Amino acid sequence: MNLDQLLNQLLTALTSISLLLLISIGLAVIFGMMGIINLAHGEFLMLGAFATLAGVRVGLNIWLAMLLAPLLVGLFGLLVERLLIQFLYGRLADSMLATWGLSLIMVQAVVFIFGTTTQGIPTPLGNFSLGQYSVSWYSVVLILAALLLISVVFWVFKRTRYGLLARAAMQLPEMAMSLGINTRRLNALTFAFGSALAGAGGALLAPITGVVPGMGQAYIGRAFMNVIIAGPGVLTGTTAASGLLGTVEYTASYVSTPFIGQAALLIFAIVLIRFLPTGLSGRWGKQL
């Protein structure tokens, strides 16, 4: 194998991993910190993509639009938490069903607003040569963005007062309550933060996929799987799981076919869960 081929493989695999991380980090924060499985997560991604699209349409710079999209989706998340999720803490099945209902509504609402097909955003930045291979600059952006999001999550939970309280509330909810921490506000903030991360993921996806109302469905399954494999460690677990699953999927689909790639991913995940029922980070304790 030549050097350029190796580098190209590495870069593509890293992009796969980054994508997996980008589409699941929002879900992971909401699941890991609050125990809510947000089945509308795919639609939050979709909303992030459409927010970016709308931003570009009104003439914003694409990078600016990508920055604004998470804020918008975060606000939307705040609204959803206040109107819906706050009544469903500790009710796993109910929260899944309510968010599923929400996802149905969101898809159709977007169809009403934008129609079934809309003009998307082209991938910015062009490409560069890596020996005989040409690679999109944007895939480098995706890798950097994944690193950036990891750092942001780390910073928020480790270095801010909110993060400290949120982690405390996650580990010992009763204790947090009795210490006078306002868990209501905390939960709302966490959900909004998770939604914003999903929005960021969607915004970053916008220039590499078709921005259509049903696009969320393509990602929800994998994001879901990733978070379950990750286990309770929001940051460590999700990063490790993305790395593992991304590599498995990329290798399997490169060596054989994308079908085998997908099947390998799912089977690998199920076998892993059999032996590590609480996910990769299950034994690392309730760390980030």
Partner 1 sequence: MKFLLRKIPFEAKGLLVIAGVAFILTGLVEDYQATQWTVWVIYGLLALSLTLVWGKGGIFSLGQVAFFGIGGYAYGVVGVNLIHTTGESLSALVAAGLLAALFAAAQGFFMFYGNVGDVYIAVITLATTLVLYTFMLSTSGRQYAIGIAYLGGFNGMTNVPPLTLFNSFLSQRDLLLVTIIIAAAIAFVVRFLLRRPFGRVIAGLRTNELRTQLLGYDTRRYKLLLYMLGGGIAGLAGGFYAAWGQFISPTVFSLSQASLAVIYVLVGGRASLSGAFAGAILVEGLSTNLSKGGTEATPIVLGLVMILIVLLLPTGIAPALATLLKRIQIRGGKIETRGLSPLLEEKFLSKTIPTASAFRKNSGRLETVELRKTFGGLVAVANASLTFDSSGVYCLIGPNGAGKSTYFNLLIGRYKPTSGQALFAGKPLNRMPIFRRVQQGMGIKLQVVSIFTELSVFENMWLAAYAISRNSLWAEQQAGQLLERFGLLQYADEQAGTLAHGQQQWLEIGMVLAQEPSVIMLDEPTAGMTREETARTAELVRELGKQASVIVVEHDMEFVRLLDAPVTVFHQGQIFAKGRLEELRQNEDLQNIYLGRYRNVEVK
Partner 2 sequence: MFRFLKVREKRVKTASRFLILTMLLANLALSACGDSTKSATTDDKSDIAVGSLLDETGPLNIYGKPMADAAKLAIKDINNNGGVLGRKLKLVSYDTQSDTGKYTQLTTQIIQQDKVAVLMGGITSAAREAIRPIIDRNKQLYFYNVQYEGGVCDKNTFLTENVPTQQLIPLTQWGIKNVGPKIYVLAADYNFGQISTDWVKQYAAQFGGQVIGTDFVPLDVSEFGSIISKLQDAKPDIVFSILVGGNHIAFYRQFAAAGLGAKMKIISSTFGVGNEQIVLSSAESKDIVVAYPYFQELTNQTNQKFVKMWQDEYGKDYPYITDLAEATWNSWHIWAEAVKKANSLDREKVTAEIEKGLTWDAPRGTVQMDGATHHATFDITIARANDKKGFNLIETQKAVPPAFEQQVCNLVKNPETYTQFTPGQK
- Rule CB under 8 A: which residues touch partner 1? 37, 39, 84, 87-88, 91-94, 96-98, 100-105, 107-109, 111-112, 217, 220-221, 224-225, 228, 259, 262-263, 266-267, 269-270, 273-274, 277-278
Interacting partner of 220 out of partner 1, partner 2, none (Cβ under 5 to 8 A depending on kind):
partner 1
Question: Which of 179/270 has CB closer to partner 1?
Answer: 270
Interacting partner of 247 out of partner 1, partner 2, none (Cβ under 5 to 8 A depending on kind):
none
C-alpha 252/C-alpha 245 separation (Å) is 10
Interacting partner of 270 out of partner 2, partner 1, none (Cβ under 5 to 8 A depending on kind):
partner 1
Question: Which of 58/112 has CB closer to partner 1?
Answer: 112
Kindly state the smallest distance separating residue 93's Cβ from partner 2, in Å: 21
C-alpha 128/C-alpha 141 separation (Å) is 13
Interacting partner of 76 out of partner 1, partner 2, none (Cβ under 5 to 8 A depending on kind):
none
Question: Which of 112/275 has CB closer to partner 2?
Answer: 112
Question: Which of 74/279 has CB closer to partner 1?
Answer: 279
Interacting partner of 190 out of partner 1, partner 2, none (Cβ under 5 to 8 A depending on kind):
none
Question: Which of 79/88 has CB closer to partner 1?
Answer: 88
Contact 235, 150 (CB under 8 A): yes
Kindly state the smallest distance separating residue 125's Cβ from partner 2, in Å: 8
Question: Which of 22/85 has CB closer to partner 2?
Answer: 22
**Sign of the CA dihedral 53, 54, 55, 60?**
positive
Interacting partner of 261 out of partner 1, partner 2, none (Cβ under 5 to 8 A depending on kind):
partner 2
Contact 22, 204 (CB under 8 A): yes
Contact 229, 273 (CB under 8 A): yes
Question: For the range 8-13, what are the long-range contacts, defined as Cβ-Cβ under 8 Å and sequence gap of 24 or more?
Answer: 8/130, 8/131, 8/133, 8/135, 9/254, 11/130, 11/135, 11/139, 11/140, 11/143, 12/135, 12/139, 12/250, 13/246, 13/247, 13/250, 13/251
Question: Which residues, including other chains, have CB under 8 Å from residue 151's CB and lie 6 or more apart?
Answer: none
C-alpha 146/C-alpha 132 separation (Å) is 27
Question: Which of 53/98 has CB closer to partner 2?
Answer: 53
Kindly state the smallest distance separating residue 87's Cβ from partner 2, in Å: 25
Interacting partner of 98 out of partner 1, partner 2, none (Cβ under 5 to 8 A depending on kind):
partner 1
Encode burial over 277-288: b for 16+ CB neighbours within 10 A, e otherwise: eebbbeebeeeb
C-alpha 111/C-alpha 278 separation (Å) is 38
Name the β-bridge partners of 135.
128
**What 3-state DSSP class applies to 49?**
helix
C-alpha 27/C-alpha 68 separation (Å) is 19
Binding site for partner 2 (CB under 8 A): 5, 8-9, 12-13, 15-16, 19, 108, 111, 115-123, 126-127, 132-136, 138-139, 207-212, 214-215, 217-219, 221, 250, 253-254, 257-259, 261-262
Residue 74 CA, distance from chain mean position: 13
Kindly state the smallest distance separating residue 194's Cβ from partner 2, in Å: 22
